Chains A and B, each alone.
Chain A
Amino acid sequence: MKRLFKLAAACSAFAFTVPAAAQDIAITGATVATGDGSAPIENATVLVRGGKVVAAGTGVTVPAGMETIDGAGKWVTPGIFAAVTDIGVFDVSGVSNSNDAGASNSRFSAALDISQAINPASEHISVSRAGGVTRATVAHAPGDSIFAGQGATIDLGVDPDPITQARSFQMVVLGERGARIAGGGRTASNLELRNAMAEAKAYVAGDWEGEDALLTRPDVQSLVPVISGKQKLYVHAERASDIRKVIALKQEFAKLDLVLLGASEGWLVANALAASGIPVLADPLDDLPSSFEQLAATQSNIGRMTEAGVKVAIGGVGAFEQPRNLTQYAGNLVALRKVPRASGLTWGQAFASITSIPAEISGLGGKAGILRAGAMGDVVIWDGDPLELSSNPTRVFIDGVEQPLSNHQTRLRDRYRDLDESNLPKAYDW
C-alpha cells in the first residue's frame, strides 16, 4: 500500500524514461503551436535540451553548436496526448489471447493494474507514434465490477520502458454499463460504489474485516489512495442525471479527485460541471442517441462545455477510433465553428484538447502536451497543419529522443508498392 502511495503521488518515474540518447536540437523557422490553447506562431523556434523543452516561440536564440533543423514550411508541436486509450494492451483485439485490455473473469477488480500489461513493442504503439502520438493514458476495461482497475500513463517511445506513471488513476463505471455490471440497475451500482468507499475508509481506520467484506483485500487496498484523493478517480457517466450524481459525489466525498469520462449529455449540465471543477474527457464526434443515456449526444458537446468554463479534453475515444486520428477529431471541432448554431473550438483550443488539456487532466500539467520550458521533450514536426487530413508527422521526438516511424504497416506498404514478382516472390522483398 505504501508503495502504491508513492508511485501514485509522485512523478519521479519520469526520470527513468529518459534514455541517455536524448538529443539537443533546435528547430527554427517553423510554425509552432505550443499546445497551450493559443494560436500558432509563425517563424518560431523550439529548443530541446537534455530531453526537455527549453524554449518555444519567437525571439529564441539558438545556442552555438546546437544541431539545428530547418523548420521552414513545417509545423512544430508537442506530441499528441491520447487520454484513456487501450493502446499497448493488445495485438489483435479480436484475438483474445493477445488482448489484455480487460480481465472480465478475474476475481479482482480495482486492484487490476494495466501498467503490468503494456507492451511497448505493440503494433498499435508504433502506428500511433507514427501518427504523432507521444504520450497516452491507458485504461483497464471493466469486467465484473464497476471498478475497472487502475490505468497508467505511458510514453510511446521505442525504448523498453513505456511507463510514465503507473496506477495514475482508478476507473469506475456508472450509467447503463455500471448498472448492468452491478446487478441490473443504477440502484445497485450506487450501492456498490458507496460500499467500496466505506470499506476503503474502514481499511484506513484499521477496522476492515476481511471475512465480512465484499471487496477482496487487494481491491480495498487499491481504493485507499482514491478516497484520500491521492489517486484520480475516473467516473464513466453519460446521462445528464448520472453526471449530476457524479457532481454530488464530489460534494459528499470532498477529497475525491474526480475526472468525468464520457459525458455525452454534459452540455445539459455544463454550468454545474463548471462550478464543480470536475474536468471532463469526452468523445468529440458522438452525435447519435446510441443508447438511452446518450439521447442528447451532439458534436457541440465539447464546445458548449468549454464555453461554460468546463475543462474538457478529447478522451475515451474507443473501439475503432484510433489515437492517430485524434488530430482529425480535433479538426472537426474547428469545423463546427462554420456550422450555424453549432458550438466548436478555435484552432488553439482544439489543439489544446488533444495536447495540454488531456495532459493536465492526467496530472501532467506543464509537463506534457505543451512546448514550454521544463516540459518533456515530446516534439513532433509535421508537414502541414497537424489538424488537417492531408498532414503527417515527418519527425517525432519523445523525451528528446528521435523515434523511428516505421512499423509493420510501412513495411507492407513498401513491399506492395508494386506487384512485380518476375524474379522472386514478394516474400523475398524486404
Chain B
Amino acid sequence: MRYRALTVLGGAVALAACSANGQSKPASVSDTPASAGSVETPYASTYTPYPGAPTALVGATIYDGAGGQIDGGTVLFADGKIVEIGGADLAIPAGYTRIDGSGKFVTPGIIDIHSHLGDYPSPSVQAHSDGNEVTSPTTPEVWAEHSVWPQDPGFSRALANGGITALQILPGSANLMGGRTVTLKNVPSRTVQGMKFPGAPYGMKMACGENPKRVYGNRGRMPSTRMGNFAVNRQTWLDAKEYADGDRENRNLAKETLAGVLDGDILIHNHCYRADEMALVLDMSKEFGYKVSAFHHAVEAYKIGDLLKDAGTCSAIWADWYGFKMESYDGIPENAALLQNADACVVIHSDDENGIQRLNQEASKAQAAGKRMGIDISDATVISWLTLNAAKAMGIDDMTGSLSSGKMADVVLWNGDPLSVYSRPEKVWVDGAMLYDANDPKRRPVSDFELGQPGEGDVK
C-alpha cells in the first residue's frame, strides 16, 4: 500500500529520497585482489561464471532473442556458452544433461536496461538512498557502482520472477549528467565487483526535462528552466571537448567520463519524456559529436519514431505508465508498437524493483495494445525488446541477448509462454550456471539482509 500523494515523483525520479543528508560509507571490499583494480580499469570486474553442466533443453518453443522462433526446438549450452540451437532434429552430443521442455518456452536471459537495484535498494530507507548525487546539476564523476549494495533483496526477486540475468544500474535523474552507469550480471556476490558484467562498456546517465530544472531551480541555481538545462549541458560539453582534445594528463574524473563519451567508449542513456526535447537532445549530440544510445522513459517517442530510427537511438520505455508528472501526460500504451512500426528500436525497461520482476508481462501488454490498433508484432520480436535490443543499447550484444552460438549461456526456461500472465521462470542460467530452479527450494539466492527474517527472502 503506497500513497500517491506521497510519491508524486515516484520511483522513476525518487527525488524525495534524494535530498538526503545521510552519508553512505564506501563498501569495504576486502576480498578483492589488489591486482583487480588498476589505473586503466579501476574497480574491475571480478566476476567469474559458476560451474554448470552441458545442457540440452529439448522440445520447447524457443524465442531466440533476435526475432526468431523455433517450435519444439533444442538449445544446447556447455562451458558457459551457447553451443547451438535448432529444431527437434538437432543432435545432442554425449554428456549433455537433457531437460524436457515440452509445453515450455526458452528465451535468452531477460535484460533490464534501467534499474536502480542496489542504489535504491530494499528496504527503501533514507540510509540506503544512494542513487542521486543531488549536489550539482552535472556529476559525470560519480559512478553508480560505488552506490550499489549487493545485498539488495531485489536482485533475487528479479531473477526468480523476472528471469533477469543482466541489468544496468543507473544514477537517478535529478542531475543533467548523473554519472556513470554500471552493467551487472544478476549473480549474487559479496562485492559489486563480483557482479560487474565483464567487458560491458560504461554508460553515462543524462536527464532532460522537469527533474533537473526543478531540483536546482528550487535551490535558486541554474538550471531552473529547460533552456537552462541545455545551456549547462552545452557548456559542459564544450569544456569536455577542450579536455578531450588536450593531453588529458591532468586527471579529472568528470572530464574523463565525458571524454569517454566523446571517444565513443561510454554510451549515453538519456532520461527524456517529451518528443520535442528528445529532438533537441539529438541535435545536441550532433553538435558535440556523440551518440545517444537510448532515450529512457521516452513516453512520447511514438511522436518521433522517424527521427529515432534515423538516429539509431533506442527507446527504453514502460508499457503503460503515464500521468504521474506533466511530461508523462501524453504516454500511451501503443508507444512500443508505434515505434516498432516505424522500424525504430524498442526496449522495455522497468525503472522499478517491482516492474523488473515482470518485464515480459509489460512487453506483452505493449504488444496487445499494438494489436488492438492493427499493428501485429510477432511474439519473437516482442521478446527481442527485453533481450537483444536491450543488449544492443548497452553495448553487450556481442556477448549476450540472444541464443547465438558462442554467446554467454544466459537462458530462461519458462513454465509457459512468457507473454502470458500465467507463466513464470522455471529455471534460469547465467553463463551456463543454473542459479534459479523453481523445483529446487535451495536453488535460489537469499541476501544477507533477509537471513533469519520472517519471510527469509520469500522462501518460507
Name A's B-contacting residues (CB within 8 A): 84, 86, 90-96, 99, 101-102, 104, 123-124, 127, 141-142, 236, 238, 240, 261-262, 265, 268, 283, 285-292, 294-300, 316-320, 322, 324-325, 328, 331-332, 334-336, 338-341, 387-392, 408-409, 412-413, 416-417, 419, 426
Contacts and interface: CB of A to CB of B under 8 A. Distances in A.
Contacts of A93: 4-5, 8, 323-325
Interface string B5-28: 111111100000000000000000
| Central interface residue in A265, A319, A320, A331, by most chain B CB within 10 Å | A320
Contacts of B453: 289, 295-296
Contacts of B354: 285-286, 288
Interface stretch (B46-54, B198-206, B277-285, B361-369): B361-369
Contacts of B450: 289, 295
A335 B439 contact: no
Interface string B414-449: 011001111110000000000000110100000001
A358 to B, nearest CB: 14
A318 B441 contact: no
Contacts of A417: 338, 373
Interface in B325-361: 325-326, 328-334, 338, 342, 352-354, 357-358, 361
B122 A390 contact: no
A320 B321 contact: yes
Contact of B5 (A84, A141, A283, A290): A141
Nearest to A298: B458
Given A99-B4, A325-B320, A331-B421, 16 more contacts: A91-B323, A94-B210, A96-B8, A124-B323, A141-B6, A142-B5, A292-B123, A296-B455, A297-B458, A300-B458, A319-B7, A320-B11, A331-B422, A335-B421, A338-B424, A391-B368
Given A388-B420, A390-B371, A413-B334, A142 B325 contact: no
A99 B10 CA distance: 15
A289 B422 contact: no
Contacts of A328: 361, 365, 421
A268 B460 CA distance: 11
B311 to A, nearest CB: 14
Given A101-B3, A340-B439, A388-B420, A268 B454 contact: yes
Q: Would you call the interface of chain B mostly helix, strand, loop, or mixed?
A: loop
B3 A141 contact: yes
B124 A291 contact: yes
Q: Which 9 A-B pairs have the closest CB atoms?
A: A331-B421, A102-B5, A141-B5, A94-B325, A296-B454, A296-B455, A389-B364, A262-B1, A318-B2
| Central interface residue in A285, A288, A290, A338, by most chain B CB within 10 Å | A288
A412 B332 contact: yes
B153 interface: yes
Q: Would you call the interface of chain A mostly helix, strand, loop, or mixed?
A: loop
B448 to A, nearest CB: 12
| Central interface residue in A238, A300, A325, A409, by most chain B CB within 10 Å | A409
Contacts of B153: 288-289
Nearest to B332: A409
Contact of A388 (B342, B421, B438): B421
A339 B372 CA distance: 31
Interface stretch (B31-39, B246-254, B260-268, B302-310): B302-310
B230 interface: no
B94 interface: no
A412 B329 CA distance: 11
Given A94-B8, A240-B454, A416 B2 contact: no
B154 interface: yes
A290 B419 contact: no
B15 to A, nearest CB: 10
A236 B2 CA distance: 10
A388 B373 CA distance: 18
Given A93-B325, A338-B416, A389-B421, A289 B333 contact: no
Interface in B381-439: 415-416, 419-424, 438-439
B157 interface: yes
8 contacts: A94-B324, A127-B323, A317-B1, A318-B1, A318-B7, A319-B4, A325-B320, A338-B422
Nearest to A341: B441
| Central interface residue in A91, A93, A261, by most chain B CB within 10 Å | A93
Contacts of B439: 340
A234 to B, nearest CB: 10
